[in-house]
Structure 1
Amino acid sequence: MASKVIHAIYTDDDVLMQAVKDARKAHYHIGEIYTPFPVHGLDKAMGLAPTRLAITSFIYGIIGLAVSIVMMNYIMIEDWPQDIGGKPSFSYIQNMPAFVPVMFELTVFFAAHLMVITFYMRSKLWPFKKAENPDVRTTDDHFLMEIDVENHSVEELSKFLQNTGAIEVNLIDKQE
Protein backbone atom coordinates (compact mmCIF):
# COMPACT_ATOMS: atom_id res chain seq x y z
CA MET A 1 0.00 0.00 0.00
CA ALA A 2 1.44 3.34 -1.04
CA SER A 3 0.74 6.53 0.82
CA LYS A 4 1.89 10.05 0.18
CA VAL A 5 4.16 11.78 2.69
CA ILE A 6 6.07 15.00 2.68
CA HIS A 7 9.73 15.07 3.69
CA ALA A 8 10.86 18.40 5.13
CA ILE A 9 14.62 18.81 5.57
CA TYR A 10 16.06 21.09 8.28
CA THR A 11 19.66 22.00 9.08
CA ASP A 12 19.24 23.08 12.72
CA ASP A 13 17.81 21.06 15.60
CA ASP A 14 16.29 24.12 17.28
CA VAL A 15 14.44 25.04 14.08
CA LEU A 16 13.29 21.41 13.79
CA MET A 17 12.02 21.45 17.38
CA GLN A 18 9.97 24.60 16.75
CA ALA A 19 8.68 23.14 13.45
CA VAL A 20 7.51 20.00 15.27
CA LYS A 21 5.66 22.12 17.82
CA ASP A 22 4.08 24.21 15.04
CA ALA A 23 3.07 21.11 13.04
CA ARG A 24 1.45 19.53 16.10
CA LYS A 25 -0.35 22.79 16.87
CA ALA A 26 -1.66 22.83 13.26
CA HIS A 27 -2.84 19.19 13.74
CA TYR A 28 -0.58 17.61 11.13
CA HIS A 29 0.39 13.98 11.76
CA ILE A 30 4.15 13.58 12.04
CA GLY A 31 5.00 10.06 10.89
CA GLU A 32 8.70 9.99 11.80
CA ILE A 33 11.69 12.23 12.39
CA TYR A 34 15.21 11.26 11.33
CA THR A 35 18.12 12.97 13.07
CA PRO A 36 21.90 12.47 13.01
CA PHE A 37 22.03 12.63 16.82
CA PRO A 38 19.50 12.47 19.68
CA VAL A 39 17.59 15.73 20.11
CA HIS A 40 16.65 16.36 23.73
CA GLY A 41 12.92 16.89 24.20
CA LEU A 42 11.93 15.81 20.68
CA ASP A 43 9.89 12.84 21.91
CA LYS A 44 7.88 15.12 24.19
CA ALA A 45 7.41 17.69 21.43
CA MET A 46 6.13 14.94 19.10
CA GLY A 47 3.66 13.81 21.76
CA LEU A 48 5.07 10.31 22.06
CA ALA A 49 4.05 8.24 25.07
CA PRO A 50 6.74 7.59 27.70
CA THR A 51 8.66 4.36 27.27
CA ARG A 52 7.96 1.32 29.43
CA LEU A 53 11.43 -0.16 28.94
CA ALA A 54 12.38 0.61 32.55
CA ILE A 55 9.51 -1.56 33.79
CA THR A 56 10.61 -4.44 31.59
CA SER A 57 14.19 -4.01 32.79
CA PHE A 58 13.03 -4.31 36.39
CA ILE A 59 11.01 -7.43 35.55
CA TYR A 60 14.01 -8.96 33.76
CA GLY A 61 16.19 -8.22 36.81
CA ILE A 62 13.69 -9.96 39.09
CA ILE A 63 13.68 -12.96 36.75
CA GLY A 64 17.50 -13.05 36.89
CA LEU A 65 17.43 -12.86 40.69
CA ALA A 66 14.91 -15.72 40.87
CA VAL A 67 16.95 -17.84 38.45
CA SER A 68 20.12 -17.25 40.49
CA ILE A 69 18.42 -18.20 43.77
CA VAL A 70 16.91 -21.37 42.33
CA MET A 71 20.13 -22.30 40.52
CA MET A 72 22.40 -21.83 43.55
CA ASN A 73 19.99 -23.61 45.87
CA TYR A 74 19.84 -26.60 43.56
CA ILE A 75 23.55 -26.72 42.68
CA MET A 76 25.15 -25.83 46.04
CA ILE A 77 22.61 -27.18 48.56
CA GLU A 78 20.55 -30.00 47.05
CA ASP A 79 22.48 -31.59 44.18
CA TRP A 80 26.15 -31.36 45.14
CA PRO A 81 26.70 -29.91 48.64
CA GLN A 82 30.38 -29.38 49.44
CA ASP A 83 32.24 -28.40 52.57
CA ILE A 84 34.16 -25.36 51.34
CA GLY A 85 36.41 -23.68 53.90
CA GLY A 86 34.69 -25.47 56.77
CA LYS A 87 31.26 -24.00 55.90
CA PRO A 88 28.57 -26.68 55.82
CA SER A 89 26.04 -26.52 53.02
CA PHE A 90 22.90 -27.62 54.85
CA SER A 91 20.70 -24.60 54.17
CA TYR A 92 20.52 -21.82 51.63
CA ILE A 93 19.93 -19.11 54.26
CA GLN A 94 23.17 -19.92 56.13
CA ASN A 95 25.20 -19.62 52.92
CA MET A 96 23.35 -16.70 51.35
CA PRO A 97 26.05 -14.05 52.11
CA ALA A 98 28.44 -16.02 49.90
CA PHE A 99 25.81 -16.13 47.15
CA VAL A 100 25.13 -12.36 47.02
CA PRO A 101 27.76 -11.60 44.31
CA VAL A 102 26.33 -14.32 42.06
CA MET A 103 22.79 -13.06 42.68
CA PHE A 104 23.84 -9.52 41.77
CA GLU A 105 25.71 -10.58 38.62
CA LEU A 106 22.86 -12.72 37.30
CA THR A 107 20.35 -9.95 38.01
CA VAL A 108 22.41 -7.52 35.94
CA PHE A 109 23.13 -10.16 33.26
CA PHE A 110 19.46 -10.99 32.72
CA ALA A 111 18.35 -7.35 32.78
CA ALA A 112 21.03 -6.22 30.31
CA HIS A 113 20.77 -9.05 27.81
CA LEU A 114 16.99 -9.29 27.79
CA MET A 115 16.73 -5.50 27.48
CA VAL A 116 18.90 -5.56 24.34
CA ILE A 117 16.67 -8.26 22.83
CA THR A 118 13.53 -6.35 23.82
CA PHE A 119 14.89 -3.10 22.37
CA TYR A 120 15.71 -4.73 19.03
CA MET A 121 12.33 -6.45 18.85
CA ARG A 122 10.45 -3.28 19.82
CA SER A 123 12.42 -1.24 17.29
CA LYS A 124 11.90 -3.93 14.64
CA LEU A 125 15.64 -4.20 14.06
CA TRP A 126 15.89 -7.74 12.71
CA PRO A 127 19.10 -9.29 11.40
CA PHE A 128 19.65 -8.50 7.71
CA LYS A 129 16.90 -5.86 7.75
CA LYS A 130 17.15 -3.26 5.01
CA ALA A 131 17.80 0.25 6.31
CA GLU A 132 14.79 2.56 6.37
CA ASN A 133 16.63 5.88 6.27
CA PRO A 134 14.93 7.89 3.50
CA ASP A 135 17.74 10.43 3.06
CA VAL A 136 21.43 9.75 3.62
CA ARG A 137 22.01 13.35 4.73
CA THR A 138 20.24 12.60 8.02
CA THR A 139 23.25 10.52 9.07
CA ASP A 140 25.52 13.55 8.73
CA ASP A 141 24.09 16.99 9.44
CA HIS A 142 20.44 17.28 8.31
CA PHE A 143 17.13 16.59 10.04
CA LEU A 144 14.11 15.11 8.24
CA MET A 145 10.50 15.38 9.34
CA GLU A 146 8.06 13.05 7.61
CA ILE A 147 4.44 14.25 7.60
CA ASP A 148 1.51 12.21 6.31
CA VAL A 149 -0.42 14.11 3.65
CA GLU A 150 -3.75 12.32 4.36
CA ASN A 151 -6.57 14.81 3.69
CA HIS A 152 -4.39 17.92 3.55
CA SER A 153 -3.55 20.03 0.52
CA VAL A 154 0.00 19.31 -0.62
CA GLU A 155 0.61 22.94 -1.61
CA GLU A 156 -0.70 24.25 1.72
CA LEU A 157 1.38 21.75 3.70
CA SER A 158 4.52 22.51 1.66
CA LYS A 159 4.10 26.24 2.20
CA PHE A 160 3.52 25.67 5.93
CA LEU A 161 6.72 23.59 6.23
CA GLN A 162 8.80 26.14 4.31
CA ASN A 163 7.51 28.83 6.68
CA THR A 164 8.73 26.73 9.64
CA GLY A 165 12.30 26.86 8.28
CA ALA A 166 12.56 23.78 6.05
CA ILE A 167 15.26 24.18 3.43
CA GLU A 168 13.75 21.46 1.23
CA VAL A 169 10.25 19.99 0.95
CA ASN A 170 9.56 16.89 -1.18
CA LEU A 171 6.42 14.86 -1.88
CA ILE A 172 7.19 11.14 -1.66
CA ASP A 173 5.18 7.99 -2.44
CA LYS A 174 5.94 5.81 0.57
CA GLN A 175 5.71 2.04 0.13
CA GLU A 176 4.55 0.19 3.24
Structure 2
Amino acid sequence: MADNKYLVGVFDDEDEVLHAVGEVRHSGVKIHEVYTPFAIHGLDRALGYDRPRMGIAAFLFGITGTCCALLLTFWTMGIDWPINVGGKNFFPWPTNVPIIFELTVLLASFGMSFTFFVMEGMGPTAKPVIFDVRSTDDKFIMAIDLSKNKLSELEITDILKESGASEVNVKEV
Protein backbone atom coordinates (compact mmCIF):
# COMPACT_ATOMS: atom_id res chain seq x y z
CA MET A 1 0.00 0.00 0.00
CA ALA A 2 1.15 3.52 -0.72
CA ASP A 3 2.60 5.60 2.10
CA ASN A 4 2.23 9.17 0.88
CA LYS A 5 -0.32 10.93 -1.25
CA TYR A 6 0.95 13.62 -3.64
CA LEU A 7 -0.88 16.17 -5.70
CA VAL A 8 0.84 16.50 -9.08
CA GLY A 9 0.36 19.65 -11.14
CA VAL A 10 1.39 19.47 -14.81
CA PHE A 11 2.47 22.68 -16.54
CA ASP A 12 3.18 23.31 -20.23
CA ASP A 13 5.60 26.23 -20.05
CA GLU A 14 8.65 27.07 -17.92
CA ASP A 15 7.46 30.63 -17.30
CA GLU A 16 4.12 29.33 -16.07
CA VAL A 17 5.71 26.92 -13.60
CA LEU A 18 8.13 29.58 -12.34
CA HIS A 19 5.26 32.00 -11.78
CA ALA A 20 3.13 29.22 -10.24
CA VAL A 21 5.80 28.33 -7.69
CA GLY A 22 5.65 31.85 -6.33
CA GLU A 23 1.84 31.85 -6.20
CA VAL A 24 1.61 28.42 -4.58
CA ARG A 25 4.23 29.23 -1.95
CA HIS A 26 2.57 32.60 -1.29
CA SER A 27 -0.72 30.81 -0.58
CA GLY A 28 0.96 28.75 2.15
CA VAL A 29 1.38 25.44 0.33
CA LYS A 30 4.63 23.53 0.86
CA ILE A 31 5.99 22.22 -2.44
CA HIS A 32 7.74 18.84 -2.32
CA GLU A 33 9.66 19.29 -5.61
CA VAL A 34 9.42 20.65 -9.14
CA TYR A 35 10.60 18.35 -11.96
CA THR A 36 11.60 19.91 -15.26
CA PRO A 37 13.08 18.54 -18.51
CA PHE A 38 15.79 21.24 -18.40
CA ALA A 39 17.15 23.70 -15.87
CA ILE A 40 15.11 26.84 -15.21
CA HIS A 41 17.02 29.93 -14.12
CA GLY A 42 15.70 31.24 -10.79
CA LEU A 43 13.67 28.15 -9.87
CA ASP A 44 15.89 27.33 -6.91
CA ARG A 45 15.36 30.82 -5.46
CA ALA A 46 11.62 30.62 -6.12
CA LEU A 47 11.46 27.31 -4.23
CA GLY A 48 13.36 28.86 -1.33
CA TYR A 49 16.44 26.64 -1.52
CA ASP A 50 19.62 27.71 0.22
CA ARG A 51 22.80 28.34 -1.71
CA PRO A 52 24.45 24.99 -2.50
CA ARG A 53 27.52 24.05 -0.48
CA MET A 54 29.18 21.90 -3.13
CA GLY A 55 31.95 24.50 -3.48
CA ILE A 56 33.04 23.82 0.08
CA ALA A 57 33.30 20.11 -0.67
CA ALA A 58 35.23 20.87 -3.87
CA PHE A 59 37.69 23.06 -1.99
CA LEU A 60 38.25 20.47 0.74
CA PHE A 61 38.75 17.64 -1.74
CA GLY A 62 41.07 19.84 -3.81
CA ILE A 63 43.20 20.72 -0.78
CA THR A 64 43.33 17.02 0.08
CA GLY A 65 44.50 16.25 -3.46
CA THR A 66 47.16 18.96 -3.28
CA CYS A 67 48.47 17.68 0.05
CA CYS A 68 48.50 14.08 -1.18
CA ALA A 69 50.34 15.09 -4.36
CA LEU A 70 52.95 17.07 -2.42
CA LEU A 71 53.44 14.16 -0.05
CA LEU A 72 53.65 11.67 -2.94
CA THR A 73 56.20 13.64 -4.92
CA PHE A 74 58.27 14.53 -1.86
CA TRP A 75 58.27 10.94 -0.61
CA THR A 76 59.11 9.29 -3.93
CA MET A 77 61.78 11.77 -5.09
CA GLY A 78 63.31 12.77 -1.76
CA ILE A 79 63.05 9.83 0.64
CA ASP A 80 62.04 6.56 -0.98
CA TRP A 81 64.07 6.71 -4.20
CA PRO A 82 66.38 9.74 -4.18
CA ILE A 83 68.42 10.06 -7.36
CA ASN A 84 71.26 12.56 -7.45
CA VAL A 85 71.34 13.90 -11.01
CA GLY A 86 73.99 16.55 -11.49
CA GLY A 87 73.75 17.77 -7.88
CA LYS A 88 70.17 18.94 -8.30
CA ASN A 89 67.70 19.18 -5.46
CA PHE A 90 65.87 16.00 -4.38
CA PHE A 91 62.55 17.83 -4.47
CA PRO A 92 62.46 20.08 -7.54
CA TRP A 93 59.33 22.19 -7.22
CA PRO A 94 58.74 23.20 -10.89
CA THR A 95 58.83 19.64 -12.22
CA ASN A 96 56.16 18.53 -9.76
CA VAL A 97 53.58 21.22 -10.59
CA PRO A 98 51.78 19.15 -13.26
CA ILE A 99 51.56 16.15 -10.93
CA ILE A 100 50.22 18.29 -8.10
CA PHE A 101 47.67 19.97 -10.38
CA GLU A 102 46.42 16.70 -11.87
CA LEU A 103 46.02 14.99 -8.51
CA THR A 104 44.22 18.05 -7.15
CA VAL A 105 41.73 17.98 -10.03
CA LEU A 106 41.32 14.19 -9.81
CA LEU A 107 40.50 14.12 -6.10
CA ALA A 108 38.25 17.19 -6.33
CA SER A 109 36.20 15.76 -9.20
CA PHE A 110 35.85 12.27 -7.74
CA GLY A 111 35.12 13.68 -4.29
CA MET A 112 32.44 16.03 -5.61
CA SER A 113 30.82 13.24 -7.62
CA PHE A 114 30.78 10.91 -4.63
CA THR A 115 29.46 13.66 -2.34
CA PHE A 116 26.70 14.54 -4.81
CA PHE A 117 25.53 10.93 -5.15
CA VAL A 118 25.54 10.36 -1.39
CA MET A 119 23.78 13.64 -0.53
CA GLU A 120 21.08 13.15 -3.17
CA GLY A 121 20.46 9.49 -2.27
CA MET A 122 21.40 8.29 -5.74
CA GLY A 123 23.21 5.12 -4.76
CA PRO A 124 23.14 1.89 -6.73
CA THR A 125 20.14 0.59 -4.76
CA ALA A 126 18.07 3.79 -4.92
CA LYS A 127 14.78 3.61 -6.77
CA PRO A 128 13.62 6.93 -8.23
CA VAL A 129 10.08 8.17 -7.78
CA ILE A 130 8.62 9.28 -11.10
CA PHE A 131 5.52 11.40 -10.64
CA ASP A 132 4.84 11.79 -14.37
CA VAL A 133 6.84 10.29 -17.23
CA ARG A 134 6.27 13.41 -19.34
CA SER A 135 8.58 15.40 -17.04
CA THR A 136 11.57 14.14 -19.03
CA ASP A 137 10.10 15.21 -22.39
CA ASP A 138 8.16 18.44 -22.46
CA LYS A 139 6.09 18.92 -19.27
CA PHE A 140 6.90 20.61 -15.97
CA ILE A 141 5.72 18.78 -12.87
CA MET A 142 5.03 20.26 -9.43
CA ALA A 143 4.64 17.65 -6.68
CA ILE A 144 2.95 18.63 -3.44
CA ASP A 145 2.93 16.29 -0.42
CA LEU A 146 -0.60 16.41 0.98
CA SER A 147 0.47 15.11 4.42
CA LYS A 148 2.72 18.15 4.96
CA ASN A 149 0.13 20.79 4.07
CA LYS A 150 -2.72 22.22 6.12
CA LEU A 151 -4.93 22.98 3.13
CA SER A 152 -7.23 20.31 1.73
CA GLU A 153 -6.75 18.52 -1.58
CA LEU A 154 -9.50 20.53 -3.26
CA GLU A 155 -8.08 23.87 -2.12
CA ILE A 156 -4.61 23.00 -3.40
CA THR A 157 -6.11 21.75 -6.67
CA ASP A 158 -7.89 25.09 -7.12
CA ILE A 159 -4.66 26.99 -6.39
CA LEU A 160 -2.78 24.91 -8.97
CA LYS A 161 -5.50 25.37 -11.61
CA GLU A 162 -5.59 29.14 -10.99
CA SER A 163 -1.81 29.36 -11.29
CA GLY A 164 -1.81 27.77 -14.76
CA ALA A 165 -1.65 23.99 -14.35
CA SER A 166 -3.01 22.21 -17.40
CA GLU A 167 -3.94 19.17 -15.33
CA VAL A 168 -3.80 18.11 -11.67
CA ASN A 169 -3.52 14.46 -10.65
CA VAL A 170 -3.25 12.52 -7.40
CA LYS A 171 -0.39 10.04 -7.10
CA GLU A 172 0.22 7.65 -4.24
CA VAL A 173 3.84 6.71 -3.64
SS in 1 for 2:60: helix
User: How big is the alpha-carbon RMSD for the aligned residues of Structure 1 and Structure 2?
Assistant: 1.4
Q: Which one-letter code corresponds to 2:110 in the other structure?
A: H
Q: Does 1:12 align with 2:13?
A: yes
Q: How does 1:83-102 map to 2 (within 5 A)?
A: 83-84=84-85, 86=86, 88-90=88-90, 92=91, 95-102=92-99
Q: Secondary structure at the match of 1:37?
A: coil
Segments ≥4 residues shifted beyond 4 Å: none
* Matched residue, 1:78: 79
TM-score (norm 1): 0.91
Q: 3-state DSSP class of the match of 2:4? A: strand
Per-residue deviation, 1:160: 1.0
Q: CA deviation at 1:128?
A: 4.4
What number of residue pairs does the alignment pair up? 170
Tell me, in whole angstroms, the C-alpha distance in 1 between the residues paired with 2:156 and 2:80: 70
**Structure 1 pair 173–133 and aligned structure 2 pair: CA distance change class (3 A):** closer
Please give the alpha-carbon distance, in whole angstroms, between the structure 1 residues aligned to 2:87 and 2:95.
10
1:83 to partner: Cα distance: 3.3
2:70–2:100 contact (8 Å) kept in structure 1? yes
Quote the Cα distance in structure 2 between the aligned partners of 1:5 and 1:128: 23
Decide whether the 8 Å contact of 2:131 with 2:143 is kept in 1: no
Other structure's SS at 2:84 match: coil
Q: TM-score, normalised by structure 2?
A: 0.93
Equivalent residue letter for 1:130 = K
Deviation at 1:123, TM superposition (A): 1.2
Residue number in structure 1 paired with 2:120: 123
Write the deviation string for residues 25-82 of structure 1: whole angstroms up to 9, x where unpaired.
Answer: 1111000111111111100000011100001101100000000011111111001011
Deviations 1:129-164 (A, max 9, x none): 323222110010001001122321111111110010
Show structure 1 runs of 5+ residues with no match: none
Letter in 2 for 1:123: E
Distance (whole Å) between structure 1 residues aligned to residue 153 and residue 76 of structure 2: 67
Give the secondary-structure state (helix, strand or coil) at the position aligned to 1:72: helix
Q: Quick one: distance in 1 between partners of 2:82 and 2:14?
A: 61
Deviation at 1:120, TM superposition (A): 0.9
In structure 2, runs of 5+ residues without a counterpart are none
